[in-house]
Amino acid sequence: MPVNMDHHWLPFSNNRLFHAEPQMFESAKGVKYWTPEGREVLDGSSGLFTCAAGHGRSEIAEAVYEQIQKLDYTPHFQRAAPISFELAEKLSGLLPEGLDRIFFASSGSEAVDSAIKICLAYHKANGDPQRTKLVSRAWGYHGVNLGGTSLAGMVGNRRDFGGITCDVVHMRHTWNEDQRYTRGQPEDGAHLADDLEAICQTYGGETIAAVFVEPIAGSIGTIVPPVGYLKRLREIADKYGILLVFDEVITGFGRTGAAFASQEFGVTPDVMTMAKALTNGAIPMSAVAVKTEIQTRVIQSITADRPELMHGYTYSAHPVACAAALATLKIYEDDRLFERGKALSDTFLDLVYSLRNLPQVTDLRGYGMMSGIQLKPGAAPGEKGSIVQRRLFDEGLHVKATGDALIFAPALVSTEEELTQMTAILQKTLGDAELA
């Protein structure tokens, strides 16, 4: 039956193009989608870096079904259900040591904006209310709510919304020409963290609340941090009393080889955001993890009978989302999926780097089970990405494109055979010198 497409306004989409040539999925299992016509499309981006355990996991479906029947909703303002405490405890066991106080929300964007408010509340509680400035990085993506839009270093995401942004200073991104085709972490570039030092000198370190970075910049097309860069950021943040926030919305839950990129790179932030693979994408949910002393300080600073943090959402810690997350974490543990992703990474990156000499490829980047494929630009910025993404769908592969980069990051459950099939489709499409 034909679908009436008039009423749904698609997010981050060229709606005109979509209406002219719709590309839809109707069902999914494992690392495969099927279109309404029944055509198979391999999933090269784990949905949107969400479905690390593959699609259609019955364990999650059953947990969700049971939870809706048992307790479909709890208000969380001065009320709670045991399941959210169970999830928070479980998560704190996976997180880097010290990050063990968890605030729940429903999307990565909500997690980022919650993290901003927690950082500001912490400094106020600490007697430092003048710390209101935020630092982030060029090419960074931190969601689309007002705080995240302000932090955005992908400036296209701020362009149409002048006037709504808060006080953010941007560091430089870490990519340069010499890094082209680097596999893993580039050796040079740790000095770029000194941008934070320069910002502190310019604005006064005592005015800065927090520095937000994605450990691996994901949405821009997988930019891997140079060796020593994150450690240097940590040192400078400590020197000036600035909170270091890792936005692990993409890098969390095994994408880099460890549970979180923080552990993989050996640098512990004060605050961490996560979402996406927390529930394997099945139910919206996100979280902000903070160091114990951050929560303690905020809570102890309020003596009146009022909420200590004047912030929260109707759907914070939704019990059904908690059930989905618990079932997802159990899959990760039972199937040892983080270890599996780590073990698969070499094969995956070998396949990615086999694309090196194709006419449409100008750079390759990769770490763990995420990679960026930079395309030869088309007539206008982003045009080639859109053309390639559509062509790949026709050839049977879903891959996320941002601008002229593809983010190839398959599920951690992918087999070598499936990865090889995905790569063959990329080879065919990116090998077409005439593609324009």
Ligand X SMILES: Cc1ncc(COP(=O)(O)O)c(C=O)c1O
Q: Which of residues 39-78 bind ligand X (CB under 6 A)?
A: none
Count residues near ligand X (CB under 6 A): 14
- Closer to ligand X at the Cβ: 83 or 245? 245
SS3 content of the chain, % helix, strand, coil (to 5): 40, 15, 45
Strands (E) across 112-229 are located at 133-137, 168-171, 208-213
179 binds ligand X (CB under 6 A): no
271 binds ligand X (CB under 6 A): no
How far apart CA 315 and CA 321 sit, in angstroms, is 9
- Closer to ligand X at the Cβ: 220 or 361? 220
How far apart CA 94 and CA 100 sit, in angstroms, is 9
Q: Which residue from 272, 271, 211, 215 is spatially nearest to 239, judged by alpha carbons?
A: 211
96 binds ligand X (CB under 6 A): no
Instruction: Beginning with the edge strand found earlier in the chain, give each strand of the sheet holding 397-398 in spatial order.
Output: 27-29, 32-34, 40-43, 397-398
Choose, by CB under 6 A, the member of 108, 228, 252, 403 that binds ligand X: 108
Choose, by CB under 6 A, the member of 44, 47, 143, 205 that binds ligand X: 143
Least distance (Å) between residue 215 CB and ligand X: 9
Choose, by CB under 6 A, the member of 250, 349, 411, 425 that binds ligand X: 250
262 binds ligand X (CB under 6 A): no
Q: Shortest Cβ contact with ligand X: which residue?
A: 108
279 binds ligand X (CB under 6 A): no
219 binds ligand X (CB under 6 A): yes
* End-to-end Cα, the chain, rounded Å: 33
Choose, by CB under 6 A, the member of 135, 154, 230, 249 that binds ligand X: 249
Choose, by CB under 6 A, the member of 46, 109, 149, 150 that binds ligand X: 109
Choose, by CB under 6 A, the member of 57, 142, 173, 384 that binds ligand X: 142
How far apart CA 365 and CA 216 sit, in angstroms, is 11
- Name the residue with tokens 């609340």: 209
112 binds ligand X (CB under 6 A): yes
Give the CA distances from residue 196 to residues 206, 261, 291, 399, 417, in Å, rounded to whole numbers and listed in that order: 13, 21, 22, 34, 44
How far apart CA 148 and CA 141 sit, in angstroms, is 8
Residues in the site for ligand X, rule: CB under 6 A? 107-109, 112, 141-143, 214, 218-219, 247, 249-250, 275
